[in-house]
Structure formats: C-alpha cells, structure tokens
Amino acid sequence: MSFPRMIFLKLLILSLLFVVTSLAAPIEIRKALPVVQSEGVEINDLAQFLAGIQPSPGSLLAPYTTTSEWRDYAGQMDAKWRAFNTTRLQPIRTWRESAMSDIHPESIFYPFSGPDFVYAETYFPEARHFILCGLEPVGDTPKLERLLPLSVTLGWMKTSLKTVLDAGYFITKEMQLDLKMSPLQGTLPLLCVMFARQGDRILSIDRDKEHAVIHYLRAADGLPGTLDYFSVNLRDDGFKNEGMFVSFVKQSKPGAAYLKAASYLLHESDFGLIRNLLLTQCPVIVQDDSGIPHHYFDPVNWDFRVFGTYAPPLEIFKKYYQPEMADLYQKTVTAPLGFGAGYHWSSKTANLVIYTRSKSLSHKPQ
C-alpha cells in the first residue's frame, strides 16, 4: 500500500472515531438527564426543586437532583434557611403567640411586599387569603425548560434570595434587576420558593400580565389558602388608574394589613391614595416605622400597642424621623422585640406597632 494511501486510511479511521465519540457523548448525557417538558411536572415539585428540597418520589425532576449543581445548591439553601428560621422566623412566632393572640384575620393585605410571602404567613398563620403587591413584575410560572443550565439559574436564585435571608426584606431596585436578568423572570419563581420552604403545597397557579393567583394547602392544617399577587404602581399618579385593584381589595375585606421595610413611601404626599385605602379598609395594621406615620392614626379612632425600641431611621431615611414616635416610646414601657424588623436588623433597635381601629371612621383620612 502506498504511503499516501496509508495516510488517507488513518485519517479516515480517526475521523470516524471522532464522529462516533461525539455522537455517543450526548446519548450518555441524555440518559442521565432526560429532557422533560414542564407539562409532565407538577408545579409543587418545581417549587420544591427551586427551593433546594427533594421533590416527590417518582418526580420527573429526580434525575436533575443528582447533579452536583443542584446538590450544592440544596445544601446551601438548607443551611441558609435553617439560620433564617432560627434567627428571624422562630422569634416572630414566639412573640406573636402573646402579642397577637387576639388577632385572627382571614384576609391579609400586604402592599410593597414584592414576593415576601414568608413573613406575611409567619405573622398571620391562620389567614387563608393574602393580597400582596409591588412594582416587581408577575413573571411566568416556572418551567423546567428554563432551568437549564442549572448552574446559571440556581446562581440567580441565590442572588435574588440573599437580601431577604440575610436582612429580612427584599430591596425593590435589586429585585427589578435580578428578575429581569434571571432565566426565571418575575416574582412567581421566588414565591414558589417561599411556599415550598414554608411547607405549603402549591396546587395551581393562574396568571396574566399583572395578576397571579396561587392556590395552595397550608402546612399547618392542610386547609386551602389563596395568594393574590398584583404588579401595581402604588404612587398616586399610577394608583389612580388601578380601579379594578382597589375594588378587589375592598371586596376582599382584609382583616389586617402588614407593612415592613416600605422605604417610608407612605410618609410622602404622593402616596396618599394607598395610605387612605389602608386606613379605611383595614381594621388592624401591623407595621414598623417605615409604614404609615403615627400622626395619621387619630387616637379617637385607633388604639395602638407599641413594641421594641424606636431608633432613628437609617441615614438614607433620616428625614423620616418621627418626634411623636420617639415621645410615645419614651412614655411607654416596652421590651426588646427579640428579633430584627424591617430596616432595623438588630433586635435592640427594632420596632413594631399594632394599630386597631376602635370604631368605624366617620370621615376620609387626609
């Protein structure tokens, strides 16, 4: 056989080996991680997977839980959530048992919430309906096809959850960036993580561009619950066009409102419409000092109980210092909360006030 012919045969054999090898590798990968369409995966399994929790036995997501990316993510989430539960949620449960033992609303209104369902349910575990709203977009229901590559998606999930797990609240500006750049965009994926980590079972999610409805079974008693999330602009210039949302809140008859880390927006004159909605529609308001200013609660119409310590706001919010709150706390004997609240991470500087309407308002608050 001539030398050129030998070279040609060797090159041909090498080429064939390369083709066979390149074809074989994807087949092996597909066997390890089958391509599964979201239609075949229960939404609760997807929520658990995103939360770093093993989905139900036999779930089509099971092969993905064997990857190093997911195992590392699950381990980190377990550790983070265990610390979050110990330092933040459990002290709230202990405090709530005495401080809020007389408050049992079925419906909760939580404006400026973003995807922060976990705090709302911790303060109001008996509620069966939550109305959350904020600037954060609704986004789409999580789909398995959008999870890949896992390293990218799970990395963004950790980034998006970092502030709430470390500090106890979401930062709207950070959330807007995270939710736009993440492969899983919008509020729904983070809400799914909250439900899964609380032990609630998601039954279904219905959504349109600005409204999502999550039906679930509560971990505490297995009873059904509903969460409505609205993407709305609560500033007066946008809120005046939200007639359907306002009607929804009024028809839901919230038994209580919750306000935390609200950027002191309710202190501003151009948030008067949402402030009036809260004062007229919610007989109980639980909030830190970033919520509605104390002087809006006329003592003729409202009773209030103060907890913790009133410390000046953070430097970036220093103009929202309330002398009347400082005076109220000076005249009231209170004990430290035992946990951070809102922008006050330390239990030594945190405050909460429970306002209870003593009678129906005879006039519209200004």
Interacting residues of 102 by C-beta distance below 8 A, sequence separation 6+: none
pLDDT over 50 at 35, yes or no: no
pLDDT tens-digit series, residues 147-162: 878 888 898 888 878 7
Residue 332 lies in a domain: no
Nearest-angstrom CA–CA distance, 245 and 133 = 10
> Residue 62's domain spans which residues?
43-231
Region 213-234 average pLDDT: 96
Most confident option among 55-59, 178-182, 360-364: 55-59
Nearest-angstrom CA–CA distance, 138 and 225 = 19
Q: What is the pTM of this model?
A: 0.84
pLDDT over 60 at 290, yes or no: yes
Predicted pLDDT at 197 = 95
pLDDT tens-digit series, residues 53-76: 999 988 989 999 999 999 999 999
Q: 3-state DSSP call for residue 134?
A: strand
Q: Contact 177/221 with Cβ under 8 angstroms? A: no
Q: Contact 100/123 with Cβ under 8 angstroms? A: yes
Q: Contact 146/183 with Cβ under 8 angstroms? A: yes
Q: Quote the tokens at residue 187.
A: 């509020």
Q: Contact 117/191 with Cβ under 8 angstroms? A: yes
Residue 319 lies in a domain: no
pLDDT over 90 at 15, yes or no: no
Residue 73 lies in a domain: yes
Region 206-219 average pLDDT: 95
> What's the structural domain count of the chain?
1
Residue 61 lies in a domain: yes
| Pick from 5-19, 65-79, 131-145: least confident | 5-19
**Binning pLDDT at 50, 70 and 90, where does residue 201 land?**
very high
Nearest-angstrom CA–CA distance, 337 and 332 = 14
Report which of 157, 152, 194 is spatially closest to residue 178, judged by C-alpha positions.
Answer: 157
Nearest-angstrom CA–CA distance, 80 and 253 = 36
Residue 159 lies in a domain: yes
Q: Given the structure tokens 């033992």, which residue do they identify?
A: 101
Nearest-angstrom CA–CA distance, 50 and 186 = 14
pLDDT over 90 at 122, yes or no: yes
pLDDT over 50 at 186, yes or no: yes
Nearest-angstrom CA–CA distance, 11 and 171 = 60
Region 297-318 average pLDDT: 95
Residue 47 lies in a domain: yes
Residue 38 lies in a domain: no
| Pick from 93-107, 198-212, 264-278, 338-352: least confident | 338-352
Region 123-138 average pLDDT: 95
Predicted pLDDT at 171 = 53
Q: Quote the tokens at residue 288.
A: 């830190």
Residue 124 lies in a domain: yes
What's the mean per-residue pLDDT of the chain? 84
Helices 43-50 + 188-198 axis angle, to 10: 90
Helices 188-198 + 150-166 axis angle, to 10: 70
- Write down how long the chain is: 366
Predicted pLDDT at 5 = 45
Nearest-angstrom CA–CA distance, 208 and 213 = 9
**Binning pLDDT at 50, 70 and 90, where does residue 164 land?**
confident
What strands, in cross-sheet order, belong to the sheet with 201-207? 201-207, 211-217, 224-231, 129-134, 107-110, 256-259, 284-287, 351-357, 302-308
Predicted pLDDT at 143 = 82
Predicted pLDDT at 74 = 95
